[in-house]
Amino acid sequence: MNLAELARKTREFADQRDWRPYHNPKNLVMAMSVEMAELLEHYQWLTPDEAANLPVDTTSPVAQEMADVMLYMLRLADEVGLDLEAAILHKMQLNAQKYPALPR
Residue 41 lies in a domain: yes
Which residues contact residue 70 at a Cβ distance below 8 angstroms, ignoring those fewer than 6 apart? none
pLDDT computed for residue 58 by the predictor: 85
The answer to whether 71 and 39 are in contact (CB under 8 A) is no
pLDDT computed for residue 57 by the predictor: 87
The answer to whether 76 and 28 are in contact (CB under 8 A) is yes
Neighbours of 71 (CB within 10 A): 20
Domain span holding position 52: 3-97
Residue 39 lies in a domain: yes
What CATH number does the domain containing 76 carry? Answer: 1.10.287.1080
Domains of the chain: total: 1
Residue 104 lies in a domain: no
Residue 85 lies in a domain: yes
Task: List, for residues 68-78, the tens digit of each pLDDT value.
Answer: 999 999 999 99
Q: Which stretches of the chain drop beneath a pLDDT of 70?
A: none
